[in-house]
Chain A
Amino acid sequence: MTANTETDPRALEQKPEDFASQWRLIWIAFRRHRLAMTGAIIVLMFYLVGAFAEILAPFDPNESSSANIYHPPQMVRFIDHDADGGWSFSPHVIGMTMERDKFTLKTTYTENPEDKIYLDFFGKGEPYKLWGLIPMERHFLTTENSDERFFLLGADRLGRDMLSRTIYGTRVSMSIGLIGVGLSLLLGLILGGVSGYYGGKVDMFIQRIVELVISLPTIPIWLGLSAALPQDWSPLARYFAITIILSLVAWTELARVVRGRFLALRTEDFVTAARLDGCKRGRVIFRHMMPSMVSHIIASVTLAIPVMIIAETSLSFLGLGLTPPIISWGVLLKEAQNIRSIAQAPWLFAPGGAVCLAVLALNFLGDGLRDAADPYVQDSH
Chain B
Amino acid sequence: MLLFYIGRRVLWAIPFMFAVSLIAFALISAPPGDYLTTFAATLAQSGDVVDEARLDALRERYGFDQPFIVQYLRWIGGVLQGDFGISFEWQQPVGQLIWERMALSVTLALATLMFTWAVALPIGIYSAVRKYSIGDYFFTTIGFIGLATPNFLFALVLMYVAVVHFGSDVSGLFSSEYQDAPWSLAKVGDLLSHIWIPVIILGTSATASLVRIMRANLLDELYRPYVTTARAKGLSEFRLIMKYPVRIAINPFISTIGWAFPQLISGAVITAFVLSLPTSGPLMLQALLAQDMYLAGAFILLLCCLSIVGMLVSDILLAVIDPRIRFR
Contacts and interface: CB of A to CB of B under 8 A. Distances in A.
Interface of A: 211-212, 214-221, 223-225, 227-228, 230, 306, 310, 313-314, 317-320, 333, 336-337, 339, 342-343, 346, 349, 352, 355-357, 359-360, 363-364
B191 interface: no
Contact of B273 (A306, A318, A333, A349): A318
Interface stretch (B27-35, B56-64, B94-102, B175-183): B27-35
A179 to B, nearest CB: 20
B199 interface: no
B266 A228 contact: no
B54 to A, nearest CB: 25
A320 B270 CA distance: 12
Given A221-B23, A228-B31, A360-B148, 18 more contacts: A212-B19, A214-B262, A215-B20, A215-B311, A216-B307, A224-B28, A306-B148, A317-B150, A317-B270, A318-B273, A320-B285, A333-B153, A337-B274, A339-B160, A343-B160, A349-B156, A349-B157, A363-B148
Contacts of B150: 310, 313-314, 317, 352, 355
Contacts of B299: 220
A317 B155 CA distance: 13
A99 B156 CA distance: 28
B265 A217 contact: yes
Interface string B297-313: 00110011011100100
Contacts of A339: 159-160, 163, 169
B198 interface: no
Nearest to B19: A212
Contact of B304 (A216, A343, A349): A216
Interface of B is mostly: helix
24 contacts: A215-B20, A220-B266, A220-B284, A220-B299, A220-B300, A223-B288, A224-B27, A225-B27, A227-B31, A227-B289, A306-B148, A317-B150, A317-B270, A320-B289, A339-B160, A349-B153, A349-B156, A352-B153, A352-B157, A355-B150, A357-B148, A359-B147, A363-B144, A364-B144
Contacts of B27: 221, 224-225, 228
B174 interface: no
B149 A356 contact: yes
B259 A214 contact: yes
B148 A219 contact: no
B160 A224 contact: no
B300 A224 contact: yes
A217 B148 contact: no
A224 B288 contact: yes
B31 to A, nearest CB: 5
Given A215-B308, A224-B300, A343-B164, A314 B152 contact: yes
Given A217-B262, A343-B160, A355 B284 contact: no
Contacts of A343: 160, 163-164
Contacts of B28: 224
B161 to A, nearest CB: 10
Contact of A359 (B148, B259, B288, B300): B148
B296 interface: yes
B48 to A, nearest CB: 22
Contacts of A223: 269, 284-285, 288
A217 B311 contact: no
A216 B160 contact: no
B288 A227 contact: yes
